[in-house]
Structure 1
């Protein structure tokens, strides 16, 4: 907070105290804490109380930021607010759990209590070795209008969180997924009910995978533009119970995800995958445009139903009313042996096996 802002608050409090008496405490609620270039975002966040907004003015800030107070908003002023890693010698003990983890902005709950109602919006986060914006054990966390790029693993990630909103962001040129959502990243566990988490209106491009939803239930991915990745959208389950599913993937534009990526311990080489379901149940893929995704990976194709690499089938999924065009090896691909999967009223020309269009 700069001196002018402190003086303004002091004068305001004095006037209110003199003229209105008991109204003075209300005037102190929901304070804007303003951070200027050269000042510490973390110090402002540490001073924030529930309901406060930390406004970060245009400039480049070399630090990681950890938020552990509920109800705090961290807001930049748009593309001009940039958060980058600090030099190693500049890292402070106050932020080491976030910075040493290789993350830019961390929103962190506890094992026994989710942190609620935190918002991160209107800023750029780039260059971190792991994740740009990372939330763990959060409830109703919102990430909005964030530009997350050139981070080593994920652009934006939520783990073990409920009722999240990831909306209107741009996630590009990250090492793994542009947007990543999972039950847990540290252990094997059954799918987690995400409480109607919503991922919408994001532009996700030139990552390894555009959007990954792993071992979750009760989530919607809608109206995103996903292009230029090695794979567009992955919905992933495994042998754990409950099974991943009850997910809706709708109204997305998933085109030309033809970047080539080498294999990893979890996945083969990727190229030309539009929307992939593997090891899921009761997931609906509907009303999407999936076009010009071309490759020779086992996961290549427009909309692909694939038995998971640990042998778990996909069951009772519905793929309907999608426009699936000019994908290779086919627009619709089903290599799964699961039961009750339905391909209905899709606009497409070629499928494997034949007859799905």
Structure 2
């Protein structure tokens, strides 16, 4: 789908509210396959998406017509595109036994390995809802594109990716999921250092009503930019720790992070969250630049506009650069440096109150 860079903070919010109409702009027809085979497989409501996926070859497109499709989808074919007709192409749970993706509780699974990543898969212009774990779950991929989807009301992550590089997650709506709207990690269920994603981009998404809008955990070399993030417990959470290499060398820029004031109780790994705009914990060389952050208020450790806090194992942020952000109405502070790090930089920010004083 054609894209444009959003240069102004107001445009980030406007882009988020216009996403529904953008879904229908993703219907470009695929080119003919080099071997002369049929590259386009139509699936109608009542038919099996999985059967079409299993019959497809690299470079093919599975085209969903409007309607409801029951059952999880597992993709292991490189270069495959799963393309719907917008939010009227809806994938919902089946009987839970149709494939390994269903057994795991996810809606759409894109599956490669860390050693042999699955390349070039695209998921476009469809809705995924009601799954007991993640709406879209990707593992061991490279060059994955998720665009124009509406992923909502799933019990864990909306869009989740681990052990993957060079992803583009663009112009999706991920709302009312139990954990993150977008969740990116080195590993979802084990420890490890922070690999470089090679330029993964989370851009132009609308992320509302989740526990966290975007979570980045133990990764390097990516950008979270130009998103509209509101109504979550926290807007953006970048998580690092003592692992080597550390999480960081990444950008959080030009996002509109407004009114993330839901209350989420503590869990075994993290304290309660409320009113948190952009939070860095245990990172190095993270850059937070040109964001609009306002009206995020609460009483948790992470409450405030842009917050620096030690990681769950007590690791401080190192060399964070917080510049040129516009902050207002955040509480208890617009800029809150609750960390013990001494080499973090605050410059050019417009705000009313900082903790400690002097950061504005």
Q: Residue 112 of structure 2 corresponds to which residue in structure 1?
A: 109
Q: Does 1:187 align with 2:190?
A: yes
Q: Residue 45 of structure 1 corresponds to which residue in structure 2?
A: 53
What are the superposed Cα offsets for residues 72-105 of structure 1, whole Å, 9 maximum, x if unpaired? 00000101100000134xx32xx1x101111000
Q: Does 1:246 align with 2:249?
A: yes
| 8 Å contact kept, 2:297–2:331 | yes
| 1:304-343 superposed matches below 5 A | 304-343=307-346
Q: Residue 304 of structure 2 corresponds to which residue in structure 1?
A: 301
Sort the Cα spacing of 1:105 and 1:193 in 2 relative to 1 into closer, same or farther, 3 A: same
Q: Residue 209 of structure 1 corresponds to which residue in structure 2?
A: 212
Q: Residue 18 of structure 1 corresponds to which residue in structure 2?
A: none
For 1:230 and 1:52, locate their aligned partners in 2 and report how far apart those are by CA, in whole Å: 39
> Runs of 5+ in structure 2 lacking a partner?
1-31
Shift of 1:110: 2.2
Q: Does 1:59 align with 2:41?
A: no
Q: Residue 356 of structure 1 corresponds to which residue in structure 2?
A: 359
For 2:38 and 2:318, locate their aligned partners in 1 and report how far apart those are by CA, in whole Å: 48
Larger-gyration structure (1/2): 1
For 1:157 and 1:298, locate their aligned partners in 2 and report how far apart those are by CA, in whole Å: 26
Q: Does 1:137 align with 2:145?
A: no
Q: Residue 7 of structure 1 corresponds to which residue in structure 2?
A: none
Shift of 1:261: 0.9
Q: Residue 69 of structure 1 corresponds to which residue in structure 2?
A: 77
> Runs of 5+ in structure 1 lacking a partner?
1-23
Shift of 1:112: 2.2
Q: Residue 235 of structure 1 corresponds to which residue in structure 2?
A: 238
Q: Residue 14 of structure 1 corresponds to which residue in structure 2?
A: none
TM-score, length of structure 2 as denominator length: 0.90
Selected match of 2:164 from 156, 161, 165: 161
Q: Root-mean-square deviation (CA), in Å?
A: 1.2
Shift of 1:339: 3.0
Sort the Cα spacing of 1:33 and 1:268 in 2 relative to 1 into closer, same or farther, 3 A: same
| 8 Å contact kept, 1:103–1:130 | yes
| 8 Å contact kept, 1:135–1:158 | yes
| 8 Å contact kept, 1:192–1:216 | yes
Shift of 1:239: 1.3
Q: Residue 23 of structure 2 corresponds to which residue in structure 1?
A: none
Shift of 1:262: 0.7
- Structure 1 residue ranges, 4+ long, deviating more than 3 angstroms after superposition: 24-27
Sort the Cα spacing of 1:228 and 1:86 in 2 relative to 1 into closer, same or farther, 3 A: same
Higher RCO (C-alpha 8 Å, min separation 6): 2
Sort the Cα spacing of 1:25 and 1:205 in 2 relative to 1 into closer, same or farther, 3 A: closer
For 1:186 and 1:256, locate their aligned partners in 2 and report how far apart those are by CA, in whole Å: 30
For 2:280 and 2:156, locate their aligned partners in 1 and report how far apart those are by CA, in whole Å: 21
For 2:33 and 2:118, locate their aligned partners in 1 and report how far apart those are by CA, in whole Å: 26
Shift of 1:30: 5.8
